[in-house]
Structures are given as C-alpha cells and as structure tokens.
Chain A
C-alpha cells in the first residue's frame, strides 16, 4: 500500500528526513575513506569530499521532494509558514480577510436568494415541465371558473391543468376563532402536481360534484405543526371554516408550501367551495376570480405549442361568449412568481443585485491584488535574500499562493458564516404581519460550493498578481540597490483597477442616496388621502358568519359604535384600503355603448365600496358635487363618486361630469354625483388610474375596513384609541376577528419593494465605501512608503508641507476624482432604472449630487489621512542615515 506508507511517512517526517541525512552522510564518509586510502591528508580528504558533494541541504530538500509523502508534509509546513507570516502583519491579514469576507458574504446571500427565488422552481416532482398560464396582453393569469374548466378539458398539451385561488378565512376548531390564509385548489391539484400526502390523504377530482360539494381540508405541514402541534389524530376531525363544517383529510408534505412563492397558505380546500368561502360565482363566465392556472406539459410538447393550443381555445370561447369573454390569448411562464407580474420585477431586481455584488467581488479582488502586490514589494528584499541563499522561485511562489489560499479560505468561511446567519434571519422574517408571506431561503450545498469556489478563484486570482514581481526579482540588483524605487508607469493596471473600484463605489453611493431620498419623499407624498391621526380596523364579516341583509346593518352598527368613542372625529367604511391590498377592477362603458362586450369598454376602473362618511374620514377631497348619504340604498337610483382621471377617460375634460351617466359591467346605468381628487390606489409608482367609489348600500361587501379619524391636537396615542376601538367592536360581537393598525401600517406592503431596494443598495454602498477606503488607503500608503526617500530629500531641500503632500498623494486624489466623476455619471444613469422600483427616485436632485461629492471627498480624506501624516512627519536626517 504505497498510499498508506506515504501517509504514515507524513507522520514520521523526522524519521524519513533522518534516513536521507544518514544516507548523504555515509556517502560523504565513504569518499573520505577512499581519499584517505589514496594518500590525502585527513583535512584535505574531508574538504574534497564535501566540495564534491555540493550543498547537502539542497540535495536533502530535493530528495525529500521526490518523495510524495514529504511534499505533502512540506505543503503542511508551507501552511504553517504562511500562518506565521500572516500573523506577523495583522493589519494586512485583517484587511485582506475582512475585504474578502464582505465580498463572499454578499455574493453568498445574493446567490442564495436568487437560487431560492428564481433558479429553483416549485417544490414538486418534475418541476421542469410545470408551466403557468399568463394572458398574452397583460401580466395576469386570472380566469373565470367556467373558462378554466373549458381550458382544462379541451387542451391537448397538459397532463392535467390545475387552478387555485387565494382567500382569507376564519377557522374555528372549537371556541378559538382565528383568521387563516388558504389556497382554494382544483380537485386535481395534488394529483396533477404529483404530490403524496405526509399524513392521511388528499382530495381528488372525483370528490367534486359541483358548487360547495367538497367540504374538505388538507393542512400545510407548517400549519399542522404550529396550530395542531403535530397531532396525528387531526385526520377526519371536523372543524368550522367561516362557520361551515369542513373535514380535515390530511397533511401536505413538509417541503410543499403552495404554488405561489413567498405565500405559504395555512391549508388547502377544494376550489368548488369558493362560493361558500369567498362569495364568487362559480358559474359566471365573466367573473375572473381564479387566481392562476398551471400544469405539467405532456412529453414532447413545447411551451409555444401549448400556448398556441390554449389561445385557439381562447379564441373559440371569445366567439361563443362575446358578452363575457374578452381577447383571450396565452403565453406560458414559469410558475411560482405569478408569471411576469412578480417575476419580472423580482428577476430584474435580482439581476441588478447580482451584477452589483459581482462588481463588489471584483473590487474586492482588485483590492486584494494591490494589497498582495504592495506586500510583495515590501518583501522584495526578503525574497531576494531567500533567492540568493538558494531557495527556488517555485518554493517562494508556492509560499505566496499558500498565503493567498489561506486568506481566501478564511475570508470565504467568515463570509459564508455571516451569510448563513443573515439568511436564517431572512427566512424567519415575516415582513407583513397578518399575511403568510415568508422569504424561505435556505442556503444549500450548492451555495456553499459556489462560495468556496468563488473564494478560491479570487484567492488564486489576486495571489497571481505578485508572481511577475517575484519572477523578475534579480537578487543581486535588489540587494545592491536597496529599495528599488522605480518611477512607475503613467497608468498601471493597478491604478486602473482602483479607479474602477472607486467608480463602482460612487455608483452605489449615488444609487443608495437616490433611493433614500425617493423613499423619504414617497413617505411624505400626497396619496389622495391623509394618513395622519387615522386608525383602521379590518375584518371580513363573512368570516364570522354574516351574510346578505345582516351585513349592512352590522356595518352601520360598527360605524356608530366607533363614532361614539371620545376623540373620534369621523368614521368611514371602505371594502378594501387604497395603497394596501388595493381595489377590485371592473370595466365600465359610456352610457351610449350599444353592445356591452368587453372589447367596447371605455375604461378599466378600480372601484371601492364606501360609506357616506368615508371621504371625510379618509381625508379625500371632493372637488365638486356631493358625497353619499345613508339614503343612497338599493331602492334609489345608482350613483357613484369618481376621480378626475375617471371623468377625463369617460367624459373628456371639457364638460362638467356631475350628473353624467355611465354603465357598469352588468349594464347598470350609474350617475356621477361627485368628483374626488386623484390619488394612488394600487402602487406608489402608478400613473393616474380611473377610480369609482360606489355606495356601500348599493354595492355591498362583507370585507370591511373602518377608517377612524381622530381629532388633531389631542395627544392621544394611537394604541389607546386602537384598544378602545377593539373593545367597542368586541361589545357588538366578540366573534369578529379584528386587525387594528394605524393607517400607514398597511402601506408597508407597498413600501416593501422600495425599502428592500434601499436597504440592499445602502448595504452594498457601505461595502463599496469600505472597499474603496481600503483600496485608496493601500495605494496611498504604498506610494508614500515607496517614495519616502524622495520625500525626505524634498523636505531637506526645503519643500513646504503642501508640496510634500502634493508629491505624495496627488495620484491617489487624481484617481479618486476621475473615479468619482465616472461613478456619479453612471449612478445617474442607473437611477433611471431605480425609478421603476422606488417612487420619485430622481438623480436630478441637488441634495443627492452634493451628497455624493461630499461622501467621496470625505472618503478620500479618511483614506489618505494616515499616509498623509506619515509623509508630513518625514525626518530627512533619520531617513538618509537608515538607507
């Protein structure tokens, strides 16, 4: 077993080493014997033998390197040597490891996130062939139930097309009502996705027999764990969902968290129960409530063929049902991010992030390269000495590379540890309380491998920087001439790298400042309502068993109960909050449209159902006309308050829209009684949207959001009012699940994207600053220590402080200026992209420009402070004496 022997040899280096030494010794003594026998005097005999043998140490090294075991051993001694060397210069070691840890950590985090969000499809078998349907003309996959059935049964491309909808419900397992988020799934859902239950069984297509025929529940593993404490006896238990009995069938597998990334439903019920739980009409072809459909492609069918197949069915449906079905074409998208709707921004954001972190890594490598090169230059004397003493260049290079690899492994490990901690926190984080949104990112082996490879690759990359320097070292020259202070080339590769690094840093600083400014501005923008002194209480009355006529009566009692609270100015009611979950969309027609088919629609309006007092309570200004009254009920003519954009779209801007008529989707003639100011409704970055407000009594909704405006200047904490609101509403009905927060809280959902962008840019910007700082610092230090002698002579000849500084640091500042200017320019260009994510992000902002210039200037000052001190404190006398 040669391998075994070698490994054994590894632990007995001294024994093997002694054997080689003994052999060489015996060789020398045999020759001495022969020399003596030939008649030489003893001293002469010994001298001749040693001379002839040459350097025994070098021979011993070479013999040892012939032995594989010993070369392994010498690798270990290289490592020990490298550690000793690194310990001797802790500043360099710390800077190098920290720089690399930052870069590797950032890349590991971003790669993990990308891996989880984009590269890895849903957790189902054969995810590669799973595609979601998206409409050809908009980034949405919403479908009506009858259309879904037709698509499912008539297509020839899919192995089963599944559909699901998202819904909030109240769950009561016996005296403890709580709200839950569920996926309503088609009967074939689990079978077509190829899933096996963890416990019990799933529901199947055969269980459905029309509307509300399958009251079954499949729990998600996480919910089973948190709500039912892993109780295996839950199977066949009957619980109440929105007051209706449902039977628990089983538990889904642990790694299946629904078919929409980020959204982890608590349990699954059949889609045919939607009418009961969400109130949608399963038979209405025009009601597009099904959230998304998806399926596995049959073997050999391409996504394009399948899309053409579906579009053909769509065209046929449009011809058959012109009243309900608009243009219906399809494209296939990867599921999990709701096609392009979430997919495009998330992918764009991640690509941008990946690019930036890649740049950070590059900058870190450039930094390390210059750190190592500077170190090699500082050690050129040591290298020359070792070369002169007979060390091979190979051995010295090996030492350098060992150091580089040690640093990259240490930095990589540190960065990876940090990123794992960060990702753990990210996975556990629930950004929107009340929604089952989780960013499940678990770094897996792939990420570790990539990070280690990245670390090693960068290690070898920057380790290679000083190679040429070592190879070109002429020991004789270096030792003779002392510090070879070659006048550098005009622009070296290292200078260029540093400049690029500074530019990257400036880009990041610019973008993060732009993002921060945009974010602050968007927090103080006017949204068409007033967030101050306002609390909101939300619930869905269907969760606590209210239906039809009991709903408006209860809503009115709730409003009155809150109005009686002290300090409350007014109370309004709306079905869904603007700039939170947003309003529903519905097409509208001008009054004289003869044929009410979707293609003839005048606009797609967002609508809200509101109570009379809503406009006052929300702080939405009415520009003309009147608000609603409690007499605008089902028996009176249908009316609406519309915003200016709606009026522009339907009636043109010239005429006074008050009193004009338009038609709702179902043809109802509706009269405009008031004009409200334009606002933001679905997102902060949206263009003006046509919006109509309908009286809650004419357009009832169980979804209830009470907007409570309290009197200003009454130093009442929102929490106190919140508690008072809760107890007032509880007195009416203790069984209503309530969510009471300040008005700006629900907007967190919308600000999530901008905030994430700002935070990531800020973190990356900080990294860029740190890297530039160390980069400039390294360069300035290097240039000062190289020219110390020259500076000394200048001082001796009477140079002023300013001149000394100019000589020592002008190059660093030139690089800083050029890099910053380039970075600022690029940053301004990049900010245009940012404007898509962050509301009102504009680089044409004197504050941003001034901020960037100031930041870069500060950075330059901090980075060159120490080298500048050193240059100024040059003592020519001492310096000339030493050299």
Chain B
C-alpha cells in the first residue's frame, strides 16, 4: 500500500493516472489506482490530498473546479508540461528500482 513514507511511488501513481486519464478529481484518482492495479493498491485520502497540493505548488499539475457527470462540484487536476517531464523521470527511476530489487532477489 502506498503511504506517505513512500512518497516517490505515490507521486508516480498520481502522475501516471493523470497521464492516462487526462482531467480527474481526487476521488477519481483513488478509484482509478484501485481499479488499474487490480485492487492491489489502496491510496489513503490522508496522504493523497497533501500530495496533490504539494505537486500543485511545484507546478507539476494544475487544478480547476468543474462539475461532475452527476452535477456535483469537484476540483479537477491535470498534468502540466513540467509534470510530464517529472513523470518520465519518475518512471525511469522506478524501473531502475524494480530492476535493482529483482536482481537482488534473483541473486543466488
């Protein structure tokens, strides 16, 4: 489960979600990560919203208020150019991490 301590991977998940889905609100991000990970990953709201605000302060994502399909007001986030670059970097470093951990596990 992604927690605040594992901030790098939470950022990656959020950025990737926004890259795949375009505009999305916080609740939508939680649902998407859950679904896309085959219910393996649960994002805690208590970590998600601080992360969203931090990324917005760093100009990786931008936000606007809009109406949902059910006519409810919600805050929608989307990637900025800077965020896209950040995503690419995060993906690469995550790949490195996975490769490293795998190599470590397979070491005889």
Interface residues of A (CB under 8 A from B): 2, 19-20, 22-24, 26-27, 29-31, 33-34, 52-55, 58-59, 62-63, 65-68
Given that A29-B72, A30-B74, A33-B72 are contacting pairs, would A66 and B57 also be in contact in the complex, using a CB cutoff of 8 Å?
yes
Asked whether B99 is an interface residue with its Cβ less than 8 Å from the other chain, the reply is no
A34 cross-chain contacts in B, Cβ below 8 A: 31
Main secondary structure of the interface of A (DSSP, over half): helix
B25 cross-chain contacts in A, Cβ below 8 A: 26-27, 30
Name the 7 nearest CB pairs between A and B, nearest first: A66-B53, A30-B27, A66-B54, A66-B50, A62-B50, A26-B74, A27-B27
A63 cross-chain contacts in B, Cβ below 8 A: 49-50, 53
Q: Are B45 and A52 in contact (CB under 8 A)?
A: yes
What does the 1/0 interface line of B38-73 toward A look like (CB < 8 Å)? 000000111001110110010100000000101011
B68 cross-chain contacts in A, Cβ below 8 A: 30
Least distance between B58 CB and chain A CB atoms (Å) = 10
CA distance A52 to B34 in the complex (A): 14
B54 cross-chain contacts in A, Cβ below 8 A: 66
Asked whether B3 is an interface residue with its Cβ less than 8 Å from the other chain, the reply is no
Q: Are B46 and A22 in contact (CB under 8 A)?
A: no
Q: Are A31 and B27 in contact (CB under 8 A)?
A: yes
A68 cross-chain contacts in B, Cβ below 8 A: 57
Q: Are A67 and B45 in contact (CB under 8 A)?
A: no
Least distance between B82 CB and chain A CB atoms (Å) = 13
Query: Among B28, B31, B46, which residue has its beta carbon within 8 angstroms of that of A59?
Result: B46
CA distance A19 to B26 in the complex (A): 14
A62 cross-chain contacts in B, Cβ below 8 A: 46, 49-50
B57 cross-chain contacts in A, Cβ below 8 A: 2, 66-68
Task: Select from chain A the residue with minimum beta-carbon distance to B75.
Answer: A23
Least distance between B15 CB and chain A CB atoms (Å) = 16
CA distance A26 to B49 in the complex (A): 12
What does the 1/0 interface line of B73-91 toward A look like (CB < 8 Å)? 1110000000000000000
6 contacts between A and B (CB under 8 A): A19-B75, A27-B26, A27-B74, A30-B72, A54-B45, A59-B49
Could you list 19 further interchain pairs (A-B, Cβ under 8 angstroms) beyond the known A24-B49, A34-B31?
Answer: A2-B59, A20-B49, A22-B73, A23-B26, A23-B49, A23-B74, A26-B25, A27-B25, A27-B45, A30-B68, A30-B72, A31-B27, A33-B72, A59-B50, A62-B50, A66-B50, A66-B54, A67-B57, A68-B57
A33 cross-chain contacts in B, Cβ below 8 A: 70, 72
CA distance A435 to B29 in the complex (A): 85
Q: Are A67 and B74 in contact (CB under 8 A)?
A: no
Least distance between A436 CB and chain B CB atoms (Å) = 64
Q: Are A26 and B72 in contact (CB under 8 A)?
A: yes
A27 cross-chain contacts in B, Cβ below 8 A: 25-27, 45, 74
CA distance A140 to B46 in the complex (A): 78
Q: Are A67 and B26 in contact (CB under 8 A)?
A: no
B72 cross-chain contacts in A, Cβ below 8 A: 26, 29-30, 33
Q: Are B73 and A26 in contact (CB under 8 A)?
A: yes
Task: Select from chain B the residue with minimum beta-carbon distance to A65.
Answer: B50
Least distance between A2 CB and chain B CB atoms (Å) = 7
CA distance A62 to B70 in the complex (A): 29
CA distance A209 to B46 in the complex (A): 92
CA distance A30 to B29 in the complex (A): 12
Least distance between B28 CB and chain A CB atoms (Å) = 8
B51 cross-chain contacts in A, Cβ below 8 A: 66
Task: Select from chain A the residue with minimum beta-carbon distance to B28.
Answer: A30
CA distance A19 to B49 in the complex (A): 12
B46 cross-chain contacts in A, Cβ below 8 A: 54-55, 58-59, 62
Interface residues of B (CB under 8 A from A): 25-28, 31, 44-46, 49-51, 53-54, 57, 59, 68, 70, 72-75
CA distance A33 to B27 in the complex (A): 12
CA distance A26 to B59 in the complex (A): 23
A24 cross-chain contacts in B, Cβ below 8 A: 45, 49
B26 cross-chain contacts in A, Cβ below 8 A: 23, 27
Least distance between A47 CB and chain B CB atoms (Å) = 16
A31 cross-chain contacts in B, Cβ below 8 A: 27
Task: Select from chain B the residue with minimum beta-carbon distance to A16.
Answer: B53
Task: Select from chain B the residue with minimum beta-carbon distance to A2.
Answer: B57
CA distance A65 to B49 in the complex (A): 11
CA distance A686 to B87 in the complex (A): 85
CA distance A630 to B25 in the complex (A): 116
CA distance A22 to B45 in the complex (A): 14
Least distance between A215 CB and chain B CB atoms (Å) = 78
Least distance between A61 CB and chain B CB atoms (Å) = 9
Least distance between B71 CB and chain A CB atoms (Å) = 11
Given that A27-B45, A30-B72, A54-B46 are contacting pairs, would A67 and B27 also be in contact in the complex, using a CB cutoff of 8 Å?
no
CA distance A58 to B50 in the complex (A): 11
B27 cross-chain contacts in A, Cβ below 8 A: 26-27, 30-31
Least distance between A735 CB and chain B CB atoms (Å) = 85
Q: Are B53 and A59 in contact (CB under 8 A)?
A: no
CA distance A52 to B43 in the complex (A): 11
Least distance between B54 CB and chain A CB atoms (Å) = 4
Query: Among A55, A58, A67, which residue has its beta carbon within 8 angstroms of that of B53?
Result: A67
Least distance between A34 CB and chain B CB atoms (Å) = 8
Least distance between A29 CB and chain B CB atoms (Å) = 6
CA distance A31 to B31 in the complex (A): 10
CA distance A255 to B77 in the complex (A): 65
CA distance A650 to B49 in the complex (A): 99
CA distance A23 to B52 in the complex (A): 11
CA distance A834 to B61 in the complex (A): 72
CA distance A20 to B74 in the complex (A): 11
CA distance A53 to B73 in the complex (A): 18
Query: Among B31, B45, B59, which residue has its beta carbon within 8 angstroms of that of A53?
Result: B45
CA distance A414 to B75 in the complex (A): 50
Least distance between B55 CB and chain A CB atoms (Å) = 9
A54 cross-chain contacts in B, Cβ below 8 A: 44-46
B74 cross-chain contacts in A, Cβ below 8 A: 23, 26-27, 30
Least distance between A325 CB and chain B CB atoms (Å) = 81
Least distance between A231 CB and chain B CB atoms (Å) = 66
CA distance A19 to B44 in the complex (A): 20
Least distance between A63 CB and chain B CB atoms (Å) = 5
A67 cross-chain contacts in B, Cβ below 8 A: 53, 57
B44 cross-chain contacts in A, Cβ below 8 A: 54
B49 cross-chain contacts in A, Cβ below 8 A: 20, 23-24, 59, 62-63
Task: Select from chain B the residue with minimum beta-carbon distance to A70.
Answer: B53
Least distance between A31 CB and chain B CB atoms (Å) = 6
Least distance between B64 CB and chain A CB atoms (Å) = 12
CA distance A67 to B53 in the complex (A): 7
Least distance between A394 CB and chain B CB atoms (Å) = 14
Task: Select from chain B the residue with minimum beta-carbon distance to A62.
Answer: B50
CA distance A59 to B70 in the complex (A): 25
Task: Select from chain A the residue with minimum beta-carbon distance to B73.
Answer: A26
Task: Select from chain B the residue with minimum beta-carbon distance to A33.
Answer: B70
CA distance A53 to B49 in the complex (A): 11
A30 cross-chain contacts in B, Cβ below 8 A: 25, 27-28, 68, 72, 74
B70 cross-chain contacts in A, Cβ below 8 A: 33
Task: Select from chain B the residue with minimum beta-carbon distance to A61.
Answer: B50
Least distance between B35 CB and chain A CB atoms (Å) = 12
B45 cross-chain contacts in A, Cβ below 8 A: 24, 27, 52-54, 59
Least distance between A686 CB and chain B CB atoms (Å) = 75
Name which of A52, A54, A63 has the most chain B CB atoms within 10 A of its CB: A63
CA distance A441 to B27 in the complex (A): 68
CA distance A27 to B49 in the complex (A): 10
B28 cross-chain contacts in A, Cβ below 8 A: 30
CA distance A53 to B30 in the complex (A): 11
CA distance A54 to B43 in the complex (A): 12
Least distance between B60 CB and chain A CB atoms (Å) = 13
CA distance A68 to B44 in the complex (A): 22
Task: Select from chain B the residue with minimum beta-carbon distance to A6.
Answer: B57
CA distance A19 to B25 in the complex (A): 14
CA distance A53 to B47 in the complex (A): 11
Task: Select from chain B the residue with minimum beta-carbon distance to A30.
Answer: B27
B31 cross-chain contacts in A, Cβ below 8 A: 34
CA distance A67 to B72 in the complex (A): 25
A66 cross-chain contacts in B, Cβ below 8 A: 50-51, 53-54, 57
